[in-house]
Amino acid sequence: MRAIQMANLDHIDPGNSGGSVVIPESGIKFIKREFVYECPSCSDTFKELDHLRRHKADNHPIKRPYLYIRGISSRKPEVTVRTKLDFIDIQFEDADQIRIDDMEFKSDIDRATEFLIKNQRGTHNVMLSNQGYPVEVRIRFEIMEPSVMERVERDFFSAFSNELQLAQQLQLFNEASSKFKSGISYAGPLGSYVTAVMTKDQVQGAALAHEHYVDKLGESLDGLYEFDRSLAGSILSVAAFMKNNFEECFSDNKMPCLKEAKRLFRTGLFYDDFKGQVGNSLIPIDNVSGKIIDFIVSSFEYRLANLPDMEKLSESSQTSMYDRIKIYFLLWIMARQTGNSIKASSLRSRLVHSNFFRDLVQQLEGASN
């Protein structure tokens, strides 16, 4: 909405301001008109504009149109695609008008999708609209050859499969990838993920303060979303867990311990018969996440013996807010299992400040009653 520029009123004589000027009557009788506001969607009429606004919000809410590429919504004005798309990878939602470059597709989603699939090169401007709500997205195709991505992944696994310190492993990977310029857009976000792990753990060689790990993690995610690769998917799944997104994804099938940990945070139930090795030794994971996963997939006796360590971890100043609430939840479950109602009540008061955990706690409490 354009701002209305107010006139400069400095010229008004203070002696004549404040209503002291007499305005003569014009002799013309003013008749107030009765306006009726019509809803553009259903033609219902309203005497008050506010009533129309409430009616539209309740009955005809305008939805933002979205373009999803491999399940990721186009919230950013520009999307880069690094791996070739299939028809199923592109989804439009709530778009009654679609325009790509100079071509009008109206609401023909299949035809618009087919156009993008057949033109995976260069940059395309996609304009979506829903009841006049416009959203513009630029899709930039920079398809990377599979052989290039495979080379980057070989360098990654080679660097992080030895017994060196994490900082030294990262240095090996950076040196290898720097000699392979065509793969830098893939190697970069992989390296950023490892930097995030180092920053969170404050290991030797970490150049950033602990609280900056979230920034590096976000930097990694922004880049890895562009790659439809198993390694990228696995790291995205680990990163989601670090940020308390416990939704199951396809990549979890290759990381059974992580999959089980996510399941617990969706159901609140330990699976005591779980068998498997913690984590994925070829993908670095931060220390606290590793301990949380280890706690979840181990036996009841192990969890009981390690309760004091988990309690200390929950109160450590170096434990992130994401991890702290996860640990509170685990301790709350254990307190309920061991009949420690006082401890459970204390932990519950900390959990209810989180919308996600509050709902889960209430669900579990309801199921046990």
Q: Which pLDDT does position 52 carry in this prediction?
A: 81
How far apart are alpha carbons 254 and 240 in whole angstroms? Answer: 15
Q: Which pLDDT does position 360 carry in this prediction?
A: 93
How far apart are alpha carbons 335 and 355 in whole angstroms? Answer: 21
Identify any residues that bridge with 78 across adjacent strands, giving them in sequence order. 138
Q: Which residues contact 206 (CB under 8 A, 6 or more apart)?
A: 167, 198, 199
Q: Which pLDDT does position 26 carry in this prediction?
A: 41
How far apart are alpha carbons 34 and 97 in whole angstroms? Answer: 36
Q: Return the closest-CA partner of residue 324 out of 333, 340, 309, 313.
A: 313
CA torsion sign for 323, 329, 334, 335 is positive
Q: Are 69 and 89 in contact (CB under 8 A)?
A: yes
> Per-residue b/e over 22-40, b at no fewer than 16 CB within 10 Å?
eeeeeeeeeeeeeeebeee
pLDDT in tens, the chain (369 residues): 434 343 433 333 334 333 333 334 444 444 445 556 778 778 788 878 788 888 888 887 888 898 989 887 766 788 999 999 999 999 998 999 999 999 999 999 999 999 999 999 999 999 999 988 999 999 999 999 999 999 999 999 999 988 899 999 999 999 999 988 899 999 999 999 999 999 999 888 788 888 899 999 999 998 998 899 999 999 999 999 999 999 988 888 889 999 999 999 999 999 877 665 554 457 899 999 999 999 999 999 999 999 999 999 999 998 999 999 999 999 999 999 999 999 999 999 999 999 899 999 999 988 776
Q: Return the closest-CA partner of residue 65 out of 14, 15, 122, 106.
A: 106
Separation in Å, CA 36 to CA 114, 259, 298: 45, 58, 68
Q: Which pLDDT does position 369 carry in this prediction?
A: 64
Q: Which residues contact 105 (CB under 8 A, 6 or more apart)?
A: 98, 99, 111, 112, 115
Identify any residues that bridge with 123 across adjacent strands, giving them in sequence order. 140
Q: Which residues contact 217 (CB under 8 A, 6 or more apart)?
A: 192, 193, 196, 239, 242, 243
pTM: 0.76
Q: Are 151 and 179 in contact (CB under 8 A)?
A: no
For strands 78-81 and 133-141, give the pairing.
parallel
How far apart are alpha carbons 356 and 362 in whole angstroms? Answer: 10
CA torsion sign for 292, 294, 300, 304 is negative
Q: Which pLDDT does position 71 carry in this prediction?
A: 80
Q: Which pLDDT does position 6 carry in this prediction?
A: 38
Q: Which pLDDT does position 2 carry in this prediction?
A: 38
Pull the structure tokens for residue 1: 């909405």
